[in-house]
Amino acid sequence: MTSLRPVRGTHDLVGEDLRRQRHVIETARQIAERYGYQEVSTPIFEFAEVFARPLGETSDVVSKEMYVFTDRGGDQLALRPEYTAAMCRAFISGAFGQALPVKLFGAGPMFRYERPQKGRLRQFHQIDIEVLGAAEPLADVEVIALGARILQALGVADEVALELNSLGDPVSRQAYRSALVAYLADHRANLSADSQTRLERNPLRVLDSKDEGDRAIVAEAPLLDTYFNEESQAFFAEVKAGLHALGIAFTVNPKLVRGLDYYTHTTFEFTTTALGAQGTVLAGGRYDGLIGMLGGPQTPGIGWAAGIERLAMLLATAPESARPVVVVPVGPASELAALALAEELRAAGHVVDYGFRGKVGQRLKRAAQQGARYALLLGEDELARGEVVVRDLEQGAQEAVPRSSLAARLAG
């Protein structure tokens, strides 16, 4: 048995799994570009405060899941557990210029120290979309639409449903929070143990508790939208109207509360029942206070992140890998000529593999395993005649083709 394993919750990505993930990223990249989002890539580690401050010191992500370390210069750094705060830091650092809004697309690894399970890893990958500097509800609409279009293009739209909610602006949210805490405090004794601690740390989370007793209590709890001021109501109405106008189906889930502290107004989640316990596939919301919280100029923001592994698992089929042409020298005397032929075909744009050793039979077997369509056999006889034997590995038929018409033969 192997003694050297990848670190728990990390995986080597190869073959079909890698192709699935690349397909997810490429699809998202193309569509984001079509919507006018620019691709950016930020460092995978940052000063730890970049995440600790906006996410909240008491949040699980910061208090128990972040990979934090001190570097040789004594700085407290963290492997990024999410993209949004890092994007905002880059914005404050001046990476994206001054013209607002900026529309950003990114994809890459994130790190959280958690118990791995289906659809959850310690190093996982996310696609990230952010719009910074747009306070308009139509920005929320576009951002959600972009997510919906990507899910459609991936062919997973039927597996997924959009849930939408609003937390209201900070004033409304705070008013509601007080009312909720007061209500829950009256029922504290009947709440589950988890929800009693939620009540201390993040009372809104009690709303989406899975515990049945909690659900009964929550059913009677005050409703968020009754605490909305006019502005919050109008904002939410515009987002919903925009989604209707674009034909994007959603259901309002008044108990949809995103976990991270920085959300205001719109929150949303695309979820599936096809992935076991980790149903959330793409989720985000508006975070108008985040950039200010980080010490930047008050700038509104809205965005989402999608789990690449989760999307890759939903893909019905894996993309095919390129089918190579394999060049096979017959006998040692033709090796160099065969290698030169391979180079020539590569220069012409073909995917060409050249094995380094083995008898003709072994090389052909290998070529078939690689999924090659053609094997090109080149021996002394063919060299002398200026020909190449083109063997169709699917049909089993082969024919000698003059070098001059080889390109045309392979094209057909």
**Chain contacts with RNA (rule: CB under 7 A):** 1, 5, 8-9, 59-61, 65, 82, 112, 114-121, 124, 126, 194, 198, 205, 209-211, 258-260, 269, 276-283, 305-307, 309-310, 330-331, 359-362, 364-365, 368-369, 377, 379-382, 389, 391-396, 398
Distances from the Cα of 396 to the Cα of 195, 329, 399, angstroms: 67, 18, 10
**What is the pairing mode between strands 76-79 and 68-70?**
antiparallel
**Using DSSP, how many helices (H) and how many strands (E) does the chain show?**
15, 16
Q: How far is the CB of 75 from RNA (least distance, A)?
A: 25
Residue 154, phi then psi, degrees to nearest 5: -80, -10
- When the beta carbons of 69 and 237 are compared against RNA, the nearer one is 69
Residue that is written with structure tokens 């169709």 in the block: 392
125 neighbors 107 (Cβ within 8 angstroms): yes
Q: Measured from the CB of residue 17, what is the shortest distance to RNA in angstroms? A: 12
What whole-number distance in Å separates Cα of residue 404 and Cα of residue 401?
A: 8
Instruction: State the burial class of residue 395 (Cβ atoms within 10 Å of its Cβ: 0-12, 13-18, 19+).
Output: exposed
Residue among 100 and 312 whose Cβ is closer to RNA: 312
Comparing CB distances to RNA, the nearer of 82 and 140 is 82
Q: How far is the CB of 45 from RNA (least distance, A)?
A: 17
Report the residue number, 116 or 222, with the smaller CB distance to RNA. 116
Least distance to RNA from the beta carbon of 276, Å? 2
Q: How far is the CB of 6 from RNA (least distance, A)?
A: 7
Nearer to RNA among residue 61 and residue 107 (C-beta):
61
- Contacts of 140 by beta carbon, 8 Å cutoff, 6+ apart: 239, 242, 265, 266, 286, 302
CB of 184 to RNA, least distance (A): 13
Q: Which lies closer to RNA via its Cβ, residue 208 or residue 238?
A: 208
Radius of gyration of the chain (CA): 28
